[in-house]
Amino acid sequence: MGLLSGIFLGMAFGFALMAGWHWMMQYRSAKRSAKAADIHVLSSLGRDELKKICGESFPEWISFPVYEQVKWLNKQLSKMWPYIADAGELVIRASVEPLLDQYRPPGISELKLDKLELGTVAPKIEGIRVHSHKESQITMDIDLRWGGDPNIVLEVEAAKISIPIQLKDLQVFTIVRVIFQLAEEIPCISAVVAALLADPPPRIDYVLKAVGGSLTGIPGVSDMVEDMVYSIVTDTLQWPHRIVVPIGGLPVDTSELELKPQGKLTVTVVKANNLKNMEFIGKSDPYVALHIRPLFKVKTKTVDDNLNPVWNETFELIAEDKETQSLVIEVFDEDIGDDELLGMTKMPLIDLVPQTHKEVELRLLPKLDMTKVKDKKDRGTITLKVFYHEFTKEEQRIAMEEEKKLAEEKTKMSQDGVVSGAMEPLDEAGSAVAAGGSGVEPASTGASAGAASGSGFVGSVGSGLSKAGRFMGRPFQSGSKRTSGSSHGGSSNHSGHSSPVHENGGPRIPKS
């Protein structure tokens, strides 16, 4: 009896074990199938859908396999970082200090780097994509993330009050495009081009803290610094703008790598409708500010006490890359203090057909990035007439030569004290002084700021790299052969409109 009971219990236990094993295998198979289905769905999602799921800081190679992981490079970068940081501090100080003066907001009398240390934490490369648009070039897109511990202190002076401001908790998320120009001679690379891609846009987060004081000592300083950082990044580092550095110790012609004017956009600001009223008594006093590049803003006249203003003013703006640039339109309410933003919008230049007139009505938004905007009420509309003309090679050459002359005039005006700096808005008197010196029409005056900005930035970068050459084995050559103009566009003014025409680079309107 005991034997039979043992056999029965053993068989029952064996069958139970086999049934449990079978159920477990089916369960695991079902889980694998469900996971495979989820992965298949995720693989079909685009960038926007993945951003909603993973957030803004997901690595590029996760969603796009063309980005390859480079763990080995991050290990080497960590070992090399102390040396790179030493060299980088020299390069950054030499190239950024002129930009701080150039992009200094009108409310700040002096702005300079007091302390610059890149810290001990190296950037991390999440992925690299290698592709080639031309046979003589190698293009790399580098997904770069940096949550470092730099020590950056700015000396800010306004209204005879000087406050040192420290940038803390700096975080950078961007994709860097690096282009290697190939050559037949050792080291087989004649020049390197570097820029930040505009899509996705660079993201720079930081916290401002006054050292031994309070930021309230200079009202609005945080917004001024934030706008200045945004302008410097978008106007000098973000594609299509780029840094071109010759390599190899021999003079190199880098004119083909530098940014050149592609065409001219003629914009007529016709009218606006149903603008938001920002006044407690009466109505807003609106004017329109236009730009393709943040440094070169032009503005209309102010229409007093009117929420449906009519301007019918025409401007000419220079475009360097029609495929990636946009026309940005901002409507402000003119006040005694800071002007208040009524609404803004943008129009991609790629949507325009060359040599074709077009009238558009655009809806105004509180901000271009609506993700953090709480007040999403209607801001009205603005009506524009636009016409895009592509430059011929001869027109491009003339535009670049004129830029050089205008840059000299603007530099002379700054030295003579007519304007306090390249960012100072020019009134009619200032325009007349510049035009009188070079024989160029007053409407073209502002373009000189663009030439000065471009040539100054490239020159300062080359100078900084030369100083840092001892860290890299040999100095970089900053005296490359270039065309007669800078890398930014300009053109003479030939308008058939009765209303005034202003070139790209006119008075800059500070952001509210």
Give yes or no: residues 154 and 194 share one domain.
yes
Give yes or no: residues 228 and 285 share one domain.
no
Give yes or no: residues 373 and 333 share one domain.
yes
Contacts with 465 (C-beta within 8 Å, 6 or more apart), sequence order: 91, 245, 475, 476, 478
Task: Give the pLDDT confidence score for residue 345 in this predicted structure.
Answer: 92
Around Cβ 273, how many Cβ atoms within 10 Å? 14
Position of tokens 């606006």?
A: 272
Give yes or no: residues 86 and 209 share one domain.
yes
Q: Which residue has the higher pLDDT, 106 or 512?
A: 106
Pairing mode, if any, of strands 298-299 and 286-291? antiparallel
Give yes or no: residues 387 and 273 share one domain.
yes
Give yes or no: residues 219 and 321 share one domain.
no
Name residue 484's beta-bridge partners: none
Give yes or no: residues 93 and 188 share one domain.
yes
8-state DSSP, 506: -
380 near 272, Cβ under 8 Å? yes
Number of alpha helices (DSSP H) and beta strands (DSSP E) in the chain = 8, 16
Evaluate whether residue 268 is within a structural domain.
yes
Give yes or no: residues 316 and 349 share one domain.
yes
191 near 257, Cβ under 8 Å? yes
| pLDDT at residue 381 tops 90 | yes
8-state DSSP, 238: B
Single pTM value for the model: 0.58
Rounded to whole angstroms, how far apart are CA atoms 97 and 106? 17
Evaluate whether residue 448 is within a structural domain.
no
Around Cβ 70, how many Cβ atoms within 10 Å? 18
Per the structure, the complete domain to which residue 100 belongs is given by 71-239
At residue 436 the predicted structure's pLDDT band, cuts being 50, 70 and 90, is very low
| DSSP 3-state percent helix, strand, coil across the chain (nearest 5) | 35, 30, 40
Contacts with 452 (C-beta within 8 Å, 6 or more apart), sequence order: 102, 407, 410, 411, 422, 486
| pLDDT at residue 116 tops 70 | yes
Evaluate whether residue 42 is within a structural domain.
no
- Mean pLDDT, rounded, for 231-260: 78
Give yes or no: residues 91 and 195 share one domain.
yes
Task: Give the pLDDT confidence score for residue 249 in this predicted structure.
Answer: 66
Task: Give the pLDDT confidence score for residue 416 in this predicted structure.
Answer: 63
| pLDDT at residue 314 tops 90 | yes
Task: Give the pLDDT confidence score for residue 286 in this predicted structure.
Answer: 92
Task: Give the pLDDT confidence score for residue 301 in this predicted structure.
Answer: 92
At residue 395 the predicted structure's pLDDT band, cuts being 50, 70 and 90, is confident
In CATH, what number is assigned to the domain containing residue 317? 2.60.40.150
At residue 479 the predicted structure's pLDDT band, cuts being 50, 70 and 90, is very low
422 near 456, Cβ under 8 Å? no
- Which of 374, 393, 412 delimits the end of a domain? 393
Around Cβ 504, how many Cβ atoms within 10 Å? 30
Task: Give the pLDDT confidence score for residue 496 in this predicted structure.
Answer: 35
At residue 380 the predicted structure's pLDDT band, cuts being 50, 70 and 90, is very high
Give yes or no: residues 88 and 234 share one domain.
yes
CA distances to 53, 207, 327, 400 from 371, in Å: 15, 20, 21, 39
Q: How many CA atoms lie within 13 A of 218 on its CB side?
A: 26
CA distances to 223, 326, 496 from 387, in Å: 34, 14, 13
pLDDT in tens, 331-354: 999 887 678 889 999 999 988 999
Selection from 298, 331, 330 nearest residue 317 by Cα: 298
CA distances to 173, 278, 343 from 286, in Å: 36, 10, 10
438 near 425, Cβ under 8 Å? no
Give yes or no: residues 273 and 157 share one domain.
no
Rounded to whole angstroms, how far apart are CA atoms 144 and 56? 13
| pLDDT at residue 123 tops 80 | yes
Selection from 110, 116, 54 nearest residue 91 by Cα: 116
- Which of 393, 427, 456 delimits the end of a domain? 393
Most confident residue range from 93-107, 352-366, 452-466: 352-366
**Residue 264 phi, psi (nearest 5):** -125, 130
User: What is the three-state SS of 358-381?
Assistant: EEEEEECECCCCHHHCCCCCCCCE
- Return mean pLDDT, the chain: 74
Task: Give the pLDDT confidence score for residue 1 in this predicted structure.
Answer: 66
Evaluate whether residue 195 is within a structural domain.
yes
Our CA angle for 165, 169, 172, nearest 5°, is 110
503 near 291, Cβ under 8 Å? no
Q: Which residue has the higher pLDDT, 65 or 76?
A: 76
Give yes or no: residues 283 and 210 share one domain.
no
Split into its structural domains, the chain has a count of 2
Evaluate whether residue 119 is within a structural domain.
yes
Evaluate whether residue 226 is within a structural domain.
yes
Task: Give the pLDDT confidence score for residue 484 in this predicted structure.
Answer: 36
Evaluate whether residue 146 is within a structural domain.
yes
194 near 238, Cβ under 8 Å? no
Evaluate whether residue 213 is within a structural domain.
yes
What interhelical angle do 428-438 and 393-415 show, nearest 10?
A: 120
Position of tokens 């200045």?
A: 228
Q: Which residue has the higher pLDDT, 230 or 344?
A: 344
**Residue 420 has which token pair?**
């306090």
| pLDDT at residue 509 tops 90 | no
The mean-pLDDT minimum among 147-156, 362-371, 457-466 falls in: 457-466
**Residue 8 has which token pair?**
């029965």
Task: Give the pLDDT confidence score for residue 75 in this predicted structure.
Answer: 92
Task: Give the pLDDT confidence score for residue 401 in this predicted structure.
Answer: 78
Selection from 458, 452, 418, 450 nearest residue 434 by Cα: 418
- Mean pLDDT, rounded, for 120-142: 86
At residue 414 the predicted structure's pLDDT band, cuts being 50, 70 and 90, is low
- Which of 348, 364, 393 delimits the end of a domain? 393
Position of tokens 């994509």?
A: 129
